[in-house]
Amino acid sequence: MSTDRTITRRGLTALGLGGIAGAALAAPAHAADDSGEDRRAQIAAAEPVATVADLREKAGTAHGETVYLVGYFTATPGRGGGLLFWDEESTEDDNGGTVFAVTGTATGRWKRQAESRVDLTWFGWSGTGTADPEDASADSDLLQAAVDALPSGGTVAIGPGLVLLRTTVNVLRVPITFAGAGHSDNLETGTQIVVDTTDADGFLLTGVRGGGFRDLQIRGLELEGGSLIRTERAGPEPEDGNYMLAFSHVRFRDGYNGTTLRGCNTVRFQNCVWNTFTGEYVVLLNGVADDTRADPIEFVQCGIAAGSGNHATDNVIVDGLGGSLKFIATAILFGRHGLWMRNTTGSAALPKFVYFEGGGFENTYGYSVLLERGAQAQFANAYISTDGELDLVRVGPDFVGGVTFAGCVIRGAGRNGIDFASRRLNVSGCLIGNNGRTAHVDFGRSLSGLADNGDGAVRVTTADPHGWETGDRVTVYDVAGADAVNSKWTVTVIDDDSFDLQGSEFTGSPSGGAAYRHGAGVSIREGATRVVLTGNGVGGFVGDGTNRQDYAFVTASPDVLVSANDFNGNHAGGLLMKATPTAETRISGNKGTGDVDGWFSARVGGAVANGALDFGNNLFVAGQHVTVVKAAHAIDAGSCKVRFAVDGDAATGPLTVGQEAAVQTISGIAYVDGSAAPKRIGLLVEDASADAAGLTVQFGYRLAG
């Protein structure tokens, strides 16, 4: 071995070095232009070697000597070849790709001209994705060797073809980027990494600071466990976590679990797609402990889909501490739940801060959005739909932060569009309709028995589990022997296949029949607080599915502010108030509810005669428009008819007043335009009986501008 590290003139020529200074370089090709004239000169001057097998039988004659490897194998010339130089002092291990030992030569190695980028073909990758069934590694060892060849990080280039993994590829503490030749929707083109690891992970990234995946497809092959990619901490210190991982144009498919993110910070997925997973989830954040939190995580223009047939696989789960989860123009499809925030880690810390803008949820079979534990979730300009029998959005009592929906379309739930049991809900500018889809005989539960529940009410037993909850509204139909049971009821659930009908009375000998469940646009549960619903359209959509939504808004909590909503287009009505109003109850200015902004009132304490009367609280409508929509009235004795009058002329049809207090909706709404000039308003009494006395009349109005 040379002690002064001189190299031959032939070596200088082959390497394209311009001066003697290059003689001291361990990897002299770094100083050369790897494309162009220098590259061609290097190849022309280098001695050709046919295969790696031949290379391992040929020792170099001088430090810096170069050879040109024609191909890794005889059958594939040009694949895995390239320039190599002789490092006469090296004793590195042969890694099968960038360093090659020579048989019988202890010191001296052939090396690739590589700094931060290696090609998987350099390690003997054939691209066919085939291997002997007894080969426990297939291409795993090759890909692992390529990773290990970049001890300070870099890029592993993977051209078109299939990479077959049978063991987990580990990346520890170095930023490695796996760069393919294009992601694809089919199984033949682009770069395909096929994970055939049974129940182990495909890739495990541990304490990695940088790197990621781009322009390739990662798919599983009949997997029974594990994730296609999983991240973990390398230790307890802050620098032991994963940081700044980037995934761009990657297709994940046909796995058990998709991506498990633990112990990581600042991870971005851009233009990535997940599809067809049969395990517990597609994407999971944390799920173990506080020190394995994953945040912030971003999904930008991605598609996440468990698959149309995988009804038990959840799409995105945030479990335990973590969050700062951002979805931008991302679609979440199929599977069971779309987005699930929960905490099963045993820690008191909560998942927090989910922001979802654009994109949306479709075709889920559970809840599109399930917020069980956590704080703060915001949804803007999103489309939220489902194919299941449950709610689109379910917020449990243990979700302690605020939830906001702005400019969203929330439609097609089996039950309620939004079901809320927590604190601080704000819904504005949304279209919420065509929910309660299962309120139809096609979704009926057959009844196997009806009996006295022991307190005189009807207890219903279903032939199969009903899946309903206490407080649900159901319609019972086709019961024989007790016609009164065939009606709409609120239920108290006893167990999976029985429930009581609240307020019912057991009579007769009922048998047979069935029941189905109703749903509303927004349902607020008892105990919920600080609910705000403003500026929404909550009702049926024409030409966009079937509308079976019974009410726009149902609340068992009095702490609600509901204003300026359009509640038209619901089968039973706009509003169902199941709580006693309190000082925190504010409901006004909504269409489709019959509510009014105020009342014009008149009172005659004694005898009542025909003629005009003034209202006691208002004489004029001035500077605004009002519409008179309903009347409440009663008379102590006798009878009469009344009309609403404008400037002394009748503006409504006659309303008959009797001794029983009544409320009537005015069919021909009176419109009063006081914007240009004040309009005198009052009451006209007609057809008063001789004994008429003690008249009270109120006309309800709405402000119209």
Question: What would the pLDDT profile of 268-294 be if each residue is shown by its tens digit?
Answer: 999 999 999 999 999 999 999 999 999
Residue 173 pLDDT greater than 60, yes or no? yes
Residue-wise over 291-324: b if at least 16 C-beta within 10 A, else e? ebbbbbbbbbbbbbbbbeebeebbbbbbbbbbbb
Percent of the chain's residues with pLDDT above 90: 83
Domain range summary for the chain, segments of one domain joined by + = 9-115, 389-436+521-595, 441-517, 598-703
DSSP E strand stretches across 302-350: 303-305, 314-319, 322-333, 339-342
Q: Please tell me the predicted confidence (pLDDT) of residue 36.
A: 67
Q: Please tell me the predicted confidence (pLDDT) of residue 543.
A: 67
Q: What 8-state DSSP symbol labels residue 142?
A: H
Q: Which helix (H) or strand (E) holds 523?
A: strand 522-524
Determine the number of helices (DSSP H) and then strands (DSSP E) in the chain: 4, 57
d(Cα 644, Cα 362) in Å, to the nearest integer?
50
Residue 24 pLDDT greater than 90, yes or no? no
Average pLDDT over residues 504-529: 96
- Return the closest-CA partner of residue 374 out of 360, 389, 394: 394
d(Cα 363, Cα 379) in Å, to the nearest integer?
18
Q: Do domains 441-517 and 598-703 have the same CATH topology?
A: no
257: CB partners within 8 A, 6+ apart: 225, 226, 227, 228, 277, 279, 280, 281, 282, 284
- Return the closest-CA partner of residue 435 out of 493, 377, 484, 392: 392
Percent of the chain's residues with pLDDT above 70: 94
Q: Which two tokens stand for residue 258?
A: 């998709």
704: helix, coil or strand? coil
pLDDT digits (tens, 9 = 90+) for 660-684: 999 988 877 789 999 999 999 999 9
d(Cα 487, Cα 503) in Å, to the nearest integer?
12
pLDDT digits (tens, 9 = 90+) for 422-438: 999 999 999 999 999 99
Enumerate the H helices of 130-253 as residue ranges.
140-148
Residue 576 pLDDT greater than 60, yes or no? yes
d(Cα 373, Cα 353) in Å, to the nearest integer?
12
* Side chain identity, residue 89: E
273 near 303, Cβ under 8 Å?
yes
pLDDT digits (tens, 9 = 90+) for 175-229: 999 999 999 888 889 999 999 999 999 999 999 999 999 999 999 999 999 999 9
- Return the closest-CA partner of residue 699 out of 605, 608, 627: 627
Omega before 351 within 30 of 0, i.e. cis:
no
Q: Please tell me the predicted confidence (pLDDT) of residue 401.
A: 86
- Reported as a pLDDT band with limits 50, 70 and 90, residue 19 is very low
Task: Tell how strand 314-319 and strand 625-637 pair up.
Answer: unpaired
d(Cα 297, Cα 289) in Å, to the nearest integer?
17
Q: Which helix (H) or strand (E) holds 678?
A: none
Q: Please tell me the predicted confidence (pLDDT) of residue 35.
A: 55
Average pLDDT over residues 538-565: 90
Q: Which class would CATH give 441-517?
A: mainly beta
User: Between 2.40.128, 1.10.3470, 2.60.120, 3.30.70, what CATH number should domain 598-703 receive?
Assistant: 2.60.120
Residue 373 pLDDT greater than 90, yes or no? yes
- Return the closest-CA partner of residue 567 out of 544, 546, 599, 594: 594
d(Cα 630, Cα 594) in Å, to the nearest integer?
8
d(Cα 180, Cα 187) in Å, to the nearest integer?
14
d(Cα 91, Cα 570) in Å, to the nearest integer?
80
Range with the lowest mean pLDDT among 34-48, 212-226, 399-413?
34-48
Average pLDDT over residues 337-361: 94
Alpha-carbon torsion 433, 434, 437, 441, what sign? positive
Question: Which residues share a beta bridge with 443?
Answer: none
Phi, psi of 24 (to 5 degrees): -90, 0
- Reported as a pLDDT band with limits 50, 70 and 90, residue 29 is very low
pLDDT digits (tens, 9 = 90+) for 291-345: 999 999 999 999 999 999 999 999 999 999 987 899 999 999 999 999 999 999 9
